[in-house]
Amino acid sequence: MTPEHLPVLIPLATLVATLVVPFCGQRRGRAAFWVASAGTLAALVFALGGLAHTAGGGRVAYRLAGWQPPVGIELVLDPLSAFLCAVVAAVALLVLAHSRRIAARELAGRLTPFYAAATLLVTGLLGIALTGDLFNLYVFLEISSLAMYALLAVGDARAPVSSFRYLLLGTAGASFYLLGIAFLYMLTGSLNMADVAALLPGVLDSPTATVALVLVALGIGLKMALFPLHAWMPDAYAHASSPAVALIAPIGTKVAAYVLIRFFFFVVDPEHARSALPLLDVVGYLGAIGIVWGSVMAIAQDDLKRMLAYSSVAQAGYLAVGIGLASPLGLIGAVLHVLNHACMKACLFMVSGTLRRELGHSRLSALDARTRRVLPWTSAAFATAALSMIGLPPTAGFFSKWYLALGALERGRWLLLAAILVSTLLSAVYFFRVLERVYLRAPAADAAEIAAPAPVPGEGGIAWATLPTVALAAGLVVLGLLNARIVEVLLRPMLPPGL
Amino acid sequence: MPAPVLVSSLVPLAAVLVSLAAVPLILLSARRPNLREFWTLAAAFAKLALVVALLPGALAGRVAETRLLELSPGVALGLRADPLGVFFALVASALWVLTSFYSIGYVRGAGEKRQTRYFASFAVCLSATVGIAFAANLLTFLVFYEVLTIATYPLVVHKESREAIAAGRKYLAFALSAGVALIAAVAWTHTLAGRLDFVAGGLLEDVALAPGAGRALFLLFLGGVGVKAAIVPLQSWLPAAMVAPTPVSALLHAVAVVKSGVFGVVRVVGFVFGPGWMRELGLDLLLAGVAGATILLASLLALKQDNLKARLAYSTIGHLSYIVLGVALLSPAGFAGGVFHLATHATMKITLFFCAGAIYVHLKKDRISQLDGVGREMPWTMGAFAVGAAGLAGVPPVNGFLSKWLLCLGSLEAGAPWALAVLLTSGLLNAAYFFPIVHRAFFRPAAAQSDEAKRKGEASPLLVVPLVTTALASLALGAFPDAALGLFELARAVAVSALGGGGAS
């Protein structure tokens, strides 16, 4: 196997898994799990291979079926796409492993479709990261979205409604994007990213180009839940099954943020998007509002999943702020936060899944010190991830904030800096509220009998659920300490040449 | 004094990590209390030994340095055992040894719950404190500063009562807000100067600062370190945090945590802004003014506290600002006096807290109005208390006199007679709020509480020996300032290096 095949092997691995999973049949969810995991693991291995190959600025392009661009579709592995693929595959693999027992319970009888949709989602996300073609990106965007609608529709009684709402909004977002690239096609006659990037500078000042950029930003903003286009997210996450949310929340919106980065810094000249048209400024300030709004709303929630969903709105705001700064430090902060937040959010949603399995609920007001006694490792992982979300050093969460703060200072954007810092305090409020309950609140005496966790027959220990959670939590400290290496080796080479 | 030479060494790192390494051991021996306490004591002694090993180098101008991985491009996770760092680390780690013995006596005597969490958090706190002391740059300082914030939280809420949880919230609200201000200040400094290393004489010395921006930056720094240093109006978390067990109040809320804040002030004044910018922007007057106001207000508030620990807390707030004032004066004697007071106040105040804890464990009394005649039951404890109280009021030969003398000299040197007046007034107020306690204990007849009177005699030796030791240390440090671990010499070396030339008086 040679490196030039890596771009296609990465999404192919999970696509093959998607196609094989249905053959496992309706009854044999266990086999489906192994197929899905094997596919994701293979994608991860290929992605890591690609990461090693492109480190330092290499670029591998693969022409599907041998068609030459700009007519044919190109899959491109560069430091940025390799990084994103590695994050997506790694987090997906950990979440699949974590959800094994939980899915068997929450999605009993529907395991085969779950694993098929999950691998299809991962295929779509990997495809978005890798494609070098604007229209092909739309196709992968729809593939991942369809899988997401299906995954989010299964859960409690209201899940289908909230998923349907997301379907309406998400389709609108994808259509905006499609319209945007249609305008670009009108202008340049090409859909290949590299080709468009070369042709665009001459025509960027035309109104058509402006409309195209705004439409793309709008469509992708909806997908990444950028304030005020975030309304679909809290409901969709709160009602869906734990395994689906644990899979979608950490990586779904991140890939949308990636599309913004790819489009505005690699296809379009970032200088243009910043100076001629204050589009990226708008994205940045909307991100800042989203940070504060999401954090405030998270404080008001009583359900852990819903709280985490609003916190995701805030975290999408961080990515938007980094993109909006349109500076090397801002982009480094944003891409580092893609990694950091994927790990933190995956860890936190895993905890929520474990709580729902072991306690039967994730209501904050019903948590007390028994939770810690029953689930000491899960609680410790939650505490670590919470500290990272708040942004306390030496955990990973601090360092993405650090680069974003440096970027905001460098550009003199005091409001953005204030939003980043204030959200630290707001997230401290909603996370310490939980930690206080889990660690300090004495259980009510009369509730002692209900306390004993109902043993789940035939499902064995909870090591499957706990190990990935703890590994991610420990990883947050490691990522924090190694962040400078990650920035120097992986993130600096990916910065677009024009910046 | 020759220019310091940097020597690569792993000792500073080991000094930081040794107590962190004890944490898993402490957690694993949760079911065997004696083994668990052995780990604490082993870590405490090892830490002290490692810090003492760094002392000769710091005195001779050979500064041990550990550079680990980079925390951010261009900024390493760096530890450097310079005189100021060794000074603070020495104070903290020496007192941790005594506090560890005392803690064992206290938590067992008072029947505290969740002792494993208590000892583990304590060990993390000490790692963070020594990390703060040795931090070679602002980002490393920030990392350990935030770790200290979080590691102290479980100790503040240790009792898990409603009151303790409320105090914990207050503590977090103050400390995390301060952390945010500090992050902003550090990031801004990085943007302005392009580097974050502490430099004697000021890392911003050669950087062009607009006056407005410079003052705003200083205020951000002051907000960041001022909360732990408990300067007015950021002090109110400290009396609330007295709900923690007394050894925590003694070591953390009189030495490690609060002094980390004060230490931060010293770093910011002497090693980030430097005397040049401090004078140029009028920040020395601002800082001195805040410190003076804190001293007087805290001393006045201490007068009306009946709870013994609350009175000690307000006294701590006042004495922390002695240090801030001495540093703000920017005169060699004042700077040296301020830094030296960091150690002298530590030995004296920890003595007083130890006494308060011994009285609480032994007699279950925590209010001053209950202390009539206690001195006759517990002569060693109250004797030590008298020594500490006299020292804080500035009575020779206790070490408090010496640092205060230097501070007074410093205020005259700096041409700030008002600072001298503040210090002398505060000395009187100290006497006014401490001596009545001593008077009650020794000269008033015991109240007729026959049920309590059955438990005559001193508290457990685990409590009494440490507090007598710290009282004796206070006396020794006052009588022979250069004999004990070279603390005095270190303080003068710090002043010389930070203020750039000019011998200390």
**pLDDT reported for residue B3:** 64
Determine, for residues B77 and A483 on separate chains, whether the beta-carbon distance falls below 8 Å.
no
Minimal CA separation from B245 to chain A, in Å: 16
**pLDDT reported for residue B448:** 62
| CB contact A488 to B (< 8 Å) | yes
Determine, for residues B146 and A409 on separate chains, whether the beta-carbon distance falls below 8 Å.
no
Instruction: Tell me which amino acid residue B324 is.
Output: V
Q: Mutating which of A291, A373, A402 best tests the B interface, going by the most B Cβ atoms within 10 A?
A: A402
Lowest mean pLDDT among A321-335, B272-286, B469-483: B469-483
| CB contact A483 to B (< 8 Å) | yes
Determine, for residues A436 and B165 on separate chains, whether the beta-carbon distance falls below 8 Å.
yes
DSSP codes, A295-333: HHHHHT--BHHHHHHHHHHHHHHHHHHHHHHTSHHHHHH
Please tell me which residue of chain A has the smallest CA distance to B70.
A484
- Asked if omega into A3 is within 30° of 0 (cis), the reply is no
Q: Mutating which of A329, A379, A481 best tests the B interface, going by the most B Cβ atoms within 10 A?
A: A481
Contact residues, chain A, for B69 at CB < 8 Å: 481-482, 484-485
Banded pLDDT at A181 (limits 50, 70, 90)? very high
Minimal CA separation from B134 to chain A, in Å: 16
Residues B66-122: tens digit of each pLDDT: 888 888 888 888 898 888 899 899 999 999 999 999 999 888 888 888 888 889 998
The answer to whether residues A254 and A334 touch, using CB atoms and an 8 Å cutoff, is no
By the 10 Å C-beta count (0-12 exposed, 13-18 middle, 19+ buried), B225 is classed as buried
β-strands B5-8, A74-77 pairing: unpaired
Q: Which of A88-92, A357-361, B204-208 has the highest mean pLDDT?
A: A88-92
Average pLDDT score over residue span B149-178: 91
Please tell me which residue of chain A has the smallest CA distance to B166.
A436
Banded pLDDT at B484 (limits 50, 70, 90)? low
**pLDDT reported for residue A440:** 85
Please tell me which residue of chain A has the smallest CA distance to B182.
A421
Beta-carbon contacts below 8 Å between A and B: 78
* Dist CA A427 CA A414 (whole Å): 20
Lowest mean pLDDT among A322-336, B50-64, B143-157, B317-331: B50-64
Residue B441: count other Cβ atoms within 10 Å of its Cβ. 26
ipTM, interface predicted TM-score of the complex: 0.90
Residues A379-420: tens digit of each pLDDT: 899 999 999 999 888 899 999 999 999 999 998 889 999 999
Determine, for residues B177 and A425 on separate chains, whether the beta-carbon distance falls below 8 Å.
yes
| CB contact A393 to B (< 8 Å) | yes
Contact residues, chain B, for A399 at CB < 8 Å: 71-72
Lowest mean pLDDT among A131-145, B281-295, B367-381: B367-381
Residues 6+ apart with CB under 8 A from B390: B398, B400, B434
The answer to whether residues A381 and A452 touch, using CB atoms and an 8 Å cutoff, is no
Q: Which of B65-69, B434-438, B488-492 has the highest mean pLDDT?
A: B434-438
Minimal CA separation from A391 to chain B, in Å: 10
Banded pLDDT at A456 (limits 50, 70, 90)? very low
Question: Across chain B, what does the average pLDDT equal?
Answer: 87
Contact residues, chain B, for A401 at CB < 8 Å: 183
| Report field, pTM of the whole predicted structure over 0.90 | yes
Average pLDDT score over residue span B497-505: 55
The answer to whether residues B66 and B82 touch, using CB atoms and an 8 Å cutoff, is no
The three-class DSSP label of residue B135 is strand
Contact residues, chain B, for A488 at CB < 8 Å: 70, 73
* Dist CA B82 CA B59 (whole Å): 9
Would you say the C-alpha torsion B269, B274, B277, B278 has a positive or negative sign? Answer: positive
Question: Across chain A, what does the average pLDDT equal?
Answer: 87
Determine, for residues B73 and A387 on separate chains, whether the beta-carbon distance falls below 8 Å.
no
Lowest mean pLDDT among A20-34, B236-250, B394-408: A20-34
By the 10 Å C-beta count (0-12 exposed, 13-18 middle, 19+ buried), B503 is classed as exposed
Whether residue A238 has pLDDT greater than 60: yes
**pLDDT reported for residue A26:** 67
Please tell me which residue, B383 or B478, carries the higher pLDDT value.
B383
Instruction: Tell me which amino acid residue A19 is.
Output: L
Please tell me which residue of chain B has the smallest CA distance to A404.
B187
β-strands A60-63, A74-77 pairing: antiparallel
| CB contact A428 to B (< 8 Å) | yes
Determine, for residues B73 and A410 on separate chains, whether the beta-carbon distance falls below 8 Å.
no
Whether residue A300 has pLDDT greater than 80: yes
Q: Mutating which of B150, B191, B217, B227 best tests the A interface, going by the most A Cβ atoms within 10 A?
A: B191
Minimal CA separation from A437 to chain B, in Å: 10
The answer to whether residues B19 and B127 touch, using CB atoms and an 8 Å cutoff, is yes
Banded pLDDT at B502 (limits 50, 70, 90)? very low
Whether residue B454 has pLDDT greater than 60: no
**pLDDT reported for residue B456:** 65
Average pLDDT score over residue span B223-252: 88
Q: Which H/E stretch holds residue A61?
A: strand A60-63
Whether residue A126 has pLDDT greater than 80: yes
Average pLDDT score over residue span A461-490: 86
Residues 6+ apart with CB under 8 A from B221: B181, B182, B185, B264, B268, B272
| CB contact A484 to B (< 8 Å) | yes
β-strands B5-8, B62-72 pairing: parallel
Residue A23: count other Cβ atoms within 10 Å of its Cβ. 11
By the 10 Å C-beta count (0-12 exposed, 13-18 middle, 19+ buried), B388 is classed as buried
- Name the nearest CA neighbour of B241 among B318, B334, B312, B135: B312
Average pLDDT score over residue span B491-501: 76
Contact residues, chain B, for A387 at CB < 8 Å: 150
